[in-house]
Amino acid sequence: MKRRIVIGTRKSALALTQTNQIVRLLQDLSIENGLDYEFSTKNMVTQGDIILDVTLSKVGGKGLFVKEIEQALFDGEIDLAVHSLKDMPAQLLEGLTIGAVPKRVDPRDCLITKNNLKLADLPYGARIGTSSLRRVSQIKAFRSDFQLESIRGNIDTRIKKLESEGFDAIVLASAGLFRMGWEDRISEYLEPTICLPAVGQGALGIECRANDLEILALLDLLNDPRSALTVKAERSFLKRLNGGCQVPIGAYAVLEQLDNQEQGLIRLTGMVGSPDGDIILKETMTGIEPIELGVMLGELLISQGADRILDQMGS
């Protein structure tokens, strides 16, 4: 009998677009591999979609976008869920796992401005909208005169607020604009040297039950090993720091292929900063084992005072 696979997703335009792309990929992979599945989607509302008038750092952080979906997965109402990995906490519910990380798209943040200005060319005291403390910290470190203000909502909502609420610029993840086909709105891509991305930014995480071997086998066809490896290092770093949206933490890993070696070298850069941008701790380490590398980099930043910044943010 044909198995019906139910995929859970948030109801935002971006979430639905991402999920529909994954559904099409799974349908194609199923046909190519002689599998007989029927796919359907279940739209869900999370607390992160409901609470839009408060910054994420004040209402619980990353878990707000996944809690209800994870519970539905745990309860068997859905079989898998499509998440933006940057919205996923480092620690998943027991019994759940990330079954696949499809090929990652551009992880960089980007700037959208009224007159297509670059970050360095914005006027003194420019008002910049973002919902991320990570971006606030790094952009304030780049130019302390900028006025960073909270802006929430879906991508299209935030772009409209650029005009309606008098912002000079807003900062978004370029991946979302890419997936929506709105790349032409981007005024500038912010290089990681200026604004290190969020952990997992640009990647999707396909979550499922850890004991559903049939789904895990299907998702393995969708998994991109390079993306999964680098994201695993970033998430290990986040887990070691026990961080979320409440603290300015960023990380980005790349896989460097070495000559005459089958296994590549992971180069992981991580940062922890104070919300005012006065303190930015940033280091890069390389290694082969992603989880170990993330832990080591986290401990290096802790030895430099990251724990004190995190404790202050948590108090």
pLDDT digit string (tens) for 207-219? Answer: 999 999 999 999 9
Label residue 163 by pLDDT band (50, 70, 90).
confident
Measured torsion, CA atoms of residues 113, 114, 118, 122, in degrees rounded to the nearest 10: -100
Label residue 272 by pLDDT band (50, 70, 90).
very high
What stretch of H or E contains 10? Answer: strand 3-10
Q: What average pLDDT is seen over the chain?
A: 89
Amino acid at 256: E
**Is residue 87 annotated as part of the catalytic site, yes or no?**
yes
Cβ-based neighbours of 303, under 8 Å, separated by 6 or more:
none
Is 59 a residue whose pLDDT tops 50?
no
d(CA 273, CA 275): 6
Q: Active-site residue among 53, 75, 87, 278?
A: 87
d(CA 40, CA 304): 49
Residue of higher predicted confidence among 55 and 68: 68
Calculate mean pLDDT across residues 249-255. Answer: 96
**Lookup: tokens for 65:** 């976008």
- Residue appearing with tokens 């082969």: 288
Label residue 167 by pLDDT band (50, 70, 90).
very high
Cβ-based neighbours of 290, under 8 Å, separated by 6 or more:
229, 230, 232, 233, 236, 253, 266
d(CA 267, CA 187): 28
d(CA 170, CA 111): 6
Least confident of 88-92, 98-102, 283-287: 88-92
How many CA atoms within 13 Å lie on the side-chain side of 212?
Answer: 22
Label residue 13 by pLDDT band (50, 70, 90).
confident
CA distances from 185 to 130, 164, 259 (A): 16, 16, 39
Cβ-based neighbours of 199, under 8 Å, separated by 6 or more:
85, 86, 90, 231, 234, 235, 237, 238, 249, 250, 251
Calculate mean pLDDT across residues 194-207. Answer: 97
Query: What is the pLDDT, as a whole number, of residue 124?
Result: 97
- Residue appearing with tokens 């929430």: 152
- Residue appearing with tokens 């049939």: 214
Least confident of 18-27, 254-263, 288-297: 254-263
Q: Pick from 175, 61, 53: which is nearest to 107 by CA?
A: 175
